[in-house]
Structure 1
Amino acid sequence: MLSIGLTGGIAAGKSLVGKRLAELGAVLIDADLLAREVVAPGTAGLAEIRQTFGAELISGEGELNRARLGELIFSDQSKREKLNAIVHPKVRARAAELRAEAGREAIIVQDIPLLVETGQGANFHLVIVVDAADELRVARMVTLRGLSEAEAQDRLRAQASRQERLSVADIVLDNNGTEAELLSQIDEVWENRLQPFNHNLLLRQRAKRCGPAVLSPADPRWPEIADRLASRIMLACGDQAVGVDHIGSTSIPGLDAKDVIDLQLRVRSLEIADQLAPALAAAGFPALEGDWRDTPKSFDPDPEHWLKRLHGNADPGQQVNLHVRVDGSAGANYALAFRDWLRADTEMKERYLQEKRRLAELHANDANTGGYAEAKEPWFTEVAEPGLAAWLARAN
């Protein structure tokens, strides 16, 4: 089951996206509809609202006066927080019931307007953000909803900023253009990312990879992507995880790299690593078969100290290598030390970049990245090991 969080600022076009995904086959769980359901006449939710905000918010027919409630909360953050404390837990509980009722093969899309504000991003395999410029959203609220410009601005300020939403997005759908353009984006995402991702999840397999090592210019978004993935991994592992680290070339600012996020999950033993494999697979990070170990380094030549478990990811939209290592092991310590060294030593970072570029060109016609990775080992032995040892000696 693939779980998608769908969000966007007010009047960004989120409802249209949810509707289209449902037409394509997703199971849509609309938080706005659930929010109405949990405060319907006769519910505990409505009784709590009456007790908190007063009987004047309840009509003669026993229904919630939504217009009056909106006026009350959009201009007062403390009252908005009180309302959220009443409604959100009930909405989440009902959403969980609906998720449980969906089939194992379903793609679940949860439409959550306040996903960012309530910190729910890590609960989903992917977060889709529908984006539109603030001025366009204000114009839509004035034209289509009959709000004054001041009222529209109040509603914008009551939500997360556009940048805050974009920072949690795995997928951004641009709704600054026409409806047809937005629908085209949705269809492409469904066909090329959501359906393959769900297929890989069901089979507990890594997304397909092919082709040689291609270096991309350093992308300032890589650390942000790594943080999102790390949050999902930590949530899946619970207290069995010591920590998740962003390692490898994408963790070093200014260093060109393959667009592959390397993460290190540190655990207390390899037995725990094996126990966590099903939870990681369900979170989108299936284990790769085989006896995995890092290449032993001269400072600790014992091969047993370099054992690890290796996971890929099921999402075809972003390649990930997840190295599961014992906390404090030679392999875990080396990954962190090498990262920190290149972050601190600009000259060595440049030398490594030149070697990466040379080998990428040498292996440009390979069917996969195996030859490129293997060809880097002599550089690590002859250049990186003594250089890192010297840097650590100076640092200590």
Structure 2
Amino acid sequence: MKIVGLTGGIGSGKTTVAKLFAEFNNVAVYIADVEAKKLMNSSAVIKEKVELEFGKESYKNNELDRTYISNIVFKDKSKLQVLNKIVHPEVRKHFQDFIKKQTNKAFIIYEAAILFESKSNLLCDFIITVYVDLETKIERVISRDNTTKIEVLNRMKNQLNDTPKILQSNYVIFNKNIQETKLQVEKIHNILTEKA
């Protein structure tokens, strides 16, 4: 089973590209951030470690208090690393179980914002980076998350710059225009289907 890492900076349109890949019957898509959020609420292992590290107020009614945690980790890179070290091993185990169920697929798309930072790129046979210019990214995130430019730039500081991602990728999708993006996805899908 081929694993294809899909990454890109915040606002690059990774999720849009993942949805385009999901339209093919022979592709399974795993969105690491979505699964991590679910696991942070459902995994007793994660909950115990998060409470130990960030305090009992990390959870309200058995749900992770995202605002409380975000206020800590986005202001302090070391705290973000601590959180990632708690969550990523559990996501990885969950992903291994997911792989076992995808017996009839040509390949799996593993979509992760911090693919390289979490060393998840080491699990992948191929890597795709979704790229768009900085101004477009900022505009997209401001309108999507109803946030400010300063907040977006702070979140970007916690992600690897685009250049090293692109240099370590097998494919780069320029995601400025949806029609062109679709054509790029189709082309890469055809290449990867042959390689699988």
TM-score scaled by length of structure 1: 0.47
8 Å contact kept, 1:116–1:168: no
The whole-number CA distance in structure 2 between the counterparts of 1:121 and 1:74 is: 23
Shift of 1:120: 3.0
Counterpart position of 2:9: 9
Q: How does 1:218-297 map to 2 (within 5 A)?
A: none
Counterpart position of 1:194: 192
Shift of 1:47: 2.1
Q: Which runs of 5+ in 2 are unaligned?
A: none
Counterpart position of 2:47: 46
Summarize deviations over 1:32-59 as a string: whole Å, max 9, x none.
1220122115622122111110122212
Asked if residue 33 in structure 1 is aligned to residue 34 in structure 2, the reply is: yes
Q: Partner letter of residue 71 of structure 2?
A: E
TM-score scaled by length of structure 2: 0.93
The percentage of aligned residue pairs carrying the same residue is: 26
Higher relative contact order by CA 8 Å / sep ≥ 6: 1 or 2? 2
Q: Partner letter of residue 7 of structure 1?
A: T
Shift of 1:105: 4.6
Shift of 1:104: 5.7
8 Å contact kept, 1:9–1:113: yes
Asked if residue 91 in structure 1 is aligned to residue 96 in structure 2, the reply is: no
The whole-number CA distance in structure 2 between the counterparts of 1:41 and 1:194 is: 34
Q: Which runs of 5+ in 1 are unaligned?
A: 199-396
Q: Partner letter of residue 46 of structure 2?
A: G
Q: How does 1:163-178 map to 2 (within 5 A)?
A: 163-175=163-175, 177-178=176-177
Shift of 1:62: 1.7
Secondary structure (helix, strand or coil) at the match of 2:29 reads strand
Counterpart position of 1:20: 20
The whole-number CA distance in structure 2 between the counterparts of 1:8 and 1:180 is: 19
Q: Partner letter of residue 115 of structure 1?
A: L
Count of residue pairs the alignment pairs up: 195
In our comparison, the structure showing a higher alpha carbon Rg is 1
Shift of 1:130: 0.5
Which consecutive aligned stretches of 4+ in structure 1 deviate over 3 angstroms post-superposition? Answer: none
8 Å contact kept, 1:38–1:46: no
The whole-number CA distance in structure 2 between the counterparts of 1:43 and 1:84 is: 16
Asked if residue 109 in structure 1 is aligned to residue 106 in structure 2, the reply is: no
Q: Partner letter of residue 195 of structure 1?
A: T
The whole-number CA distance in structure 2 between the counterparts of 1:134 and 1:93 is: 34
Q: Partner letter of residue 169 of structure 1?
A: S
8 Å contact kept, 1:5–1:124: yes
Counterpart position of 1:57: 58
Shift of 1:85: 0.7
The whole-number CA distance in structure 2 between the counterparts of 1:17 and 1:67 is: 28
Q: Partner letter of residue 166 of structure 2?
A: L
The whole-number CA distance in structure 1 between the counterparts of 2:139 and 2:20 is: 23
The whole-number CA distance in structure 2 between the counterparts of 1:122 and 1:42 is: 24
8 Å contact kept, 1:2–1:108: yes
8 Å contact kept, 2:50–2:83: yes
Counterpart position of 1:144: 144
Flag the structure with higher helix content.
2
8 Å contact kept, 2:28–2:105: no
Q: Partner letter of residue 131 of structure 1?
A: Y
